[in-house]
Structure 1
Amino acid sequence: MRRDSRGTAEVGARGRADPDTGLLGVIGALYLAQGISFGLVTEALPTLLRAGGVSLDLVALVPLATLPWMVKVFWAPVVDNRGSRRFGRRRGWILPTQGLLVVALLAVAAMPINAQGAVAIIALLAVASLAACTQDIATDGLAAERLGRPRMALANSLQVGGMVGGLLMGGAGMMVLSDWIGAAAGLSVMAGLIALTAVPVLVWREPPPPVEREAGSARLRTFFRSRRGWALAAIALVFANGHAVSTALARLFLVDQDWALARIGLVIGSGTAVAILLGAAMAGPLVRAIGAVPTAVAGLTVSMIGPAVWFLAADGAGPVPTWLAGAATLGGGLGEGLSSVAVFTLAFRFAHDGRQAGTDITMVQCLHGVGGMVMVGLTTALVARSGYAWGFGVALGCALLAAAVLLSTRRTCEPDRFSLSPPVIDEALDEHALPQSHGSSG
């Protein structure tokens, strides 16, 4: 096995404890914390505010609290360029932001969940989102820098699994808790769970940076100074659009089919989350066996089951049975889990080979979010004029386009598997890559 000069994948083979194992526990806990906070902001709090008598006009402002997740790329270079000498370059960001997240959620718990407290709650949720997404930048950078290449697929399975699992806890779990013990107590429990996820970070000691870096070296434009960066940007913009469009339209379609909201939430919401978790669990071993690009293409192929089934349902007559909606949800979610882990494994490898891991991963995440948001908006407008069948047809087309982009860029994104000759850095263009002594293959 080729040794990665910055990874630690071979340490266990030498008879010593593998530090990647402890680091994976740290990373998994942090992704779970991010998922819990995101579920609270996007699912639980809008529902709780509405149940508390808050007007729909105010509830409609809650999504603004997630704005930091959309624009976090603009301060990602600061997280890469600054760190604490005492606590560690990444740990020095993770611990304070984790603390701020807990404090913000406890402050929300202390507020009345009604019209009088709504504005303050939305502001506090924005603070919580700012803390969580900044922690995410540092966590992604930590994973990409420290983990050996063989562990990156597993790390991305933990990322997807932790985020989706946390989303279920912070969304559906919080709403169940609020029924049992009240909203304030439920929020306190969630804050306590997030605080517990900081324990692995507290006991872990971050080694010195793995690469000597120039002060202030991280820049957004550096991401685009390599063909590999441009290829990843194209993939990020398109790979999840088919599933995003299909899932968003499926909810609206079932509302128009007179499905109860609880039934839609169970079949589409919870069903999608469970299917993505299953797909993410399968993706790690598959990436190791056949590669990231083939796994992503396989995931996109499976995900086409979802929009294909919805297309047939929308083009036909009569009500949609639960089993059919469940089959579409299972296929779409499984494929999304597979393709997400595979694509972000490519992104983590790219970041691992450069000097600005947090910035590089964050750029891919933000492009991914922007692509889905734009396509969902455009396709929803199309459905209003042409009907649901056209919208689900667009979702199928998005998945086919994503597969084509992945296949056409496979040698650039995964050169160690698809290059006809050993990878050669393009000196004139690839300013992102480290010197050869640090390992630059993809």
Structure 2
Amino acid sequence: MVGTRSSPDRTILIVVGALYAAQGVSFGLVTEALPTLLRAGGMSLETVALVPLTMLPWMIKFLWAPLVDNRGGSRWGRRRGWILPTQAVLVAALLGVAVLPFDGTGAPLLLGLLLLGCLAACTQDIATDGLAAERLGRPKMALANTLQVGGMMAGVLVGGAGMMILSDVLGASVALMVMAGGIALTMLPVLSWREPPPDPAVSRPTARLRTFFRSRSGWALGAIALLFANGHAASGALSRLLLVDHDWPLARIGAVVGTGNSLAVILGTVLAGPLLRRTGAVGASLGGVLLTMTGPALWLAGLLAFPDLPTGLVILATLGGGVGQGVASVAVFTLAFRFAHDGAQAGTDMTMVQCLHGLGGMGMTSLATALVAQGGYAWGFAVALAAAGLTLAVVIATRRVCEPERFRANAARLPLKQGSCP
């Protein structure tokens, strides 16, 4: 058995770390590897363009998050009752894709399987977030978010770049089977863990979407989630387009910007823990967002100062923005986990934060790209920089609501109680 009564937090960390890594692998497969491999196999661009649309369940998963919170298997446990079946469906969907031809002849079935796999993965994510928020004490939440962000990014590297490299060696179908097998292995910690039964003496309120916004904390957290990643998301998307227009080879863009950003975000998640302990989640959020501003600032400076973008500047912009995003993500989602932990609908609350986070990044990226089309890249990076500045203002304005324990402790010049803040 993975865990014992003496180490419940460690057991949950192993479980959620494995599940977040599995989500990252599936995310990397759908967003990075499979469109490239399907095109290489002869699938038309019109069909390849439909592959990212299979990620739609991740954008609208808040619609069924209350169902996941309100219903759970009595045999396997409230959270395990969702995690195990959805993980199995994800593996089965990927194995189904692996046996289909990549030339487009089975495109409708392939797209349907990818849609089913994404539906399973994002539903598993709702249950995993709820499990972590409910079962982990506050002192462990920063570490849980490091596992969440770092595990996801590591999984994206494996499912994206790793899948493409493995496909060159084994072929796309066999490589996809290997990826599905790796995701299946992440079920072992879940199978080994026994979820404690709910306390029959404690009644659990029905989860509802509107409950999230019934408190000032929910509104504040929602605003931060909607804004905090916008500058980095827009800057990252524009940087790839800019480098294409500067005649950078795709392989070089992938190595410097794609892989560099992923590794930088992972480094940021590692640095976030010590920063959280020193400054609290709000302080770390501010520090992370400030650091992300180096990305659009350097891209903008490079456009204005150099006819050709120096490689060193590209690397610095990528690393600065990525590390800042890693720190900010861990800090903001630590606030979210604490909010969910203190409420009665952990999965729904976390899902609302994640969907707002994704919606904000998608909207700002579209806006910045449209501005580039009208006025040039400088306008796009300037808007990305302004979006990060707006985030700073919102975090500062809502700091007392988001982290009231630390504010009261600082005001009284008293040490924080153990576990009151990350």
Common fold by TM > 0.5? yes
Q: Is the 8 A contact 2:405 2:420 kept in 1?
A: no
Q: Hey, what does 2:25 align to over in structure 1? A: 36
Answer whether contact 2:261 2:319 (CA < 8 A) is retained.
yes
- The answer to whether residue 232 in structure 2 is matched with residue 243 in structure 1 is yes
| Aligned-pair CA distance for 1:137 | 0.2
2:373 aligned residue: 384
Residue 342 of structure 1 corresponds to 331
Residues 93-104 of structure 1: matches in 2 within 5 Å? 93-104=82-93
Q: Which residue of 2 aligns with 1:231?
A: 220
Secondary structure at the counterpart of residue 106 of structure 2: helix
Q: How big is each residue's C-alpha offset from its partner over 1:192-233, in whole Å with a ceiling of 9 and x where there is no partner?
A: 000000000000010123696656610000000000000001
Q: What is the match of residue 206 of structure 2?
A: 217
Note if contact 2:13-2:144 (Cα within 8 Å) is conserved in structure 1: yes
What residue identity is the alignment partner of 1:404?
A
> Partners of 1:215 and 1:61 in 2: how far apart?
41
Change (3 A) 1:367 1:274: same
Q: SS of the counterpart of 1:381?
A: helix
SS at match of 1:116: coil
Taking the aligned partners of 2:178 and 2:421, their CA distance within structure 1 comes to 45
- Structure 1 residue 18, shift from structure 2 partner: 2.1
Note the alpha carbon deviations across 1:399-438, whole angstroms, 9 max, x for none.
1110111111011001110137999xxxxxxxxxxxxxxx
Matches within 5 A, 1:35-184: 35-184=24-173
Instruction: Quote the residue 1:408 is aligned against.
Output: 397
1:86 partner SS: coil
Q: Does the aligned pair in 2 maintain the 1:65–1:125 contact within 8 Å?
A: yes
SS at match of 1:291: helix
- Structure 1 residue 24: deviation in Å? 0.3
Work out the CA distance in 1 between the residues paired with 2:275 and 2:246.
Answer: 38
Displacement of 1:440 after TM fit?
A: 10
1:326 is aligned to 2:315: yes
TM-score by length of 2: 0.95
2:347 to 341, 346, 358: 358
Matched to 2:253, the amino acid is: I
1:441 to 1:266, Cα distance in 2 relative to 1, 3 A: closer
- 1:331-352 alpha-carbon deviations (Å, 9 max, x no partner): 0000000000000000000000
Per the alignment, residue 416 of structure 2 pairs with none
Q: 1:321 to 1:440 in 2, by over 3 A?
A: closer
Distance 2:306 2:23 in 1: 42
| Structure 1 residue ranges without an equivalent (≥5) | 1-11, 424-438
- Pairing partner for 1:272 from 261, 274, 282: 261
Q: d(CA) in 2 for partners of 1:163 and 1:211?
A: 35
Q: CA distance change for structure 1 residues 217 and 295 in 2, over 3 Å: closer, same or farther?
A: same
Q: Which amino acid aligns with 1:99?
A: A
The structure-2 alpha-carbon separation of the partners of 1:420 and 1:282, relative to structure 1 and needing over 3 Å to count, comes to closer
Q: Which moved more, 1:19-28 or 1:112-121?
A: 112-121
Which is worse superposed, 115-124 or 256-265?
A: 115-124
Tell whether the 8 Å contact from 1:146 to 1:210 is kept in structure 2 after alignment: no
8 Å CA contact 1:347, 1:361 repeated in 2: yes
On the 8 A contact 1:241/1:375 being kept in 2, the answer is: yes
The residue type paired with residue 264 of structure 1 is I
TM, length-normalised to structure 1: 0.91
Aligned 8 A contact 1:213 1:355 in 2: no
**How far apart are the structure 1 equivalents of 2:203 and 2:374?**
54
Alignment-mate amino acid for residue 222 of structure 2: A
1:255, CA displacement in angstroms? 0.6
What amino acid sits opposite 1:107 in the alignment? G
Question: SS in structure 1 opposite 2:72?
Answer: coil
Q: Deviations over 1:89-134 (max 9, x none)?
A: 0011000001000000000001001110222211111111000000
* Distance in 2 between residues matched to 1:334 and 1:357, nearest whole Å: 28
Superposed displacement of residue 441, structure 1: 9.0
SS of the aligned residue for 1:319 comes to: coil
Deviation at 1:238, TM superposition (A): 0.5
Structure 1 position 303, deviation (Å): 1.1
- Alignment-mate amino acid for residue 376 of structure 1: T
1:324–1:210 Cα change, 3 Å: farther
Q: CA deviation at 1:178?
A: 0.6
- Counterpart residue identity of residue 232, structure 2: H
**In the alignment, what sits opposite 1:370?**
359
Alignment RMSD (CA, Å): 1.9
CA contact under 8 A between 2:204 and 2:344: conserved in structure 1? no
How far has the Cα of 1:187 moved from its partner? Answer: 0.5
Cα deviation 1:339-391 (Å, max 9, x = unaligned): 00000000000000000000000000000111111111111111111111111
- CA–CA distance in structure 1, aligned partners of residues 107 and 33 of structure 2: 14
CA contact (8 A) 1:90 1:141 kept: yes
Q: CA offsets, 1:224-278, max 9 Å, x none? A: 0000000001101100001001101100110110101111111111000000000
Aligned residues: 413
- Unaligned segments of structure 2, at least 5 residues: 413-418
Partners of 2:320 and 2:125 lie apart in 1 by 28
Letter in 2 for 1:85: S
Which residue of the partner structure matches residue 302 of structure 1?
A: 291
| Kept in 2: contact 1:211–1:355 (CA 8 A) | no
Q: Report the secondary structure of 2:147's partner residue.
A: helix
Give 1:252's aligned residue. 241
Shift of 1:285: 2.2
Q: Which runs of 4+ in 1 moved over 6 A?
A: 420-423, 439-442
* CA distance in 1: counterparts of 2:411 and 2:340, whole angstroms: 20
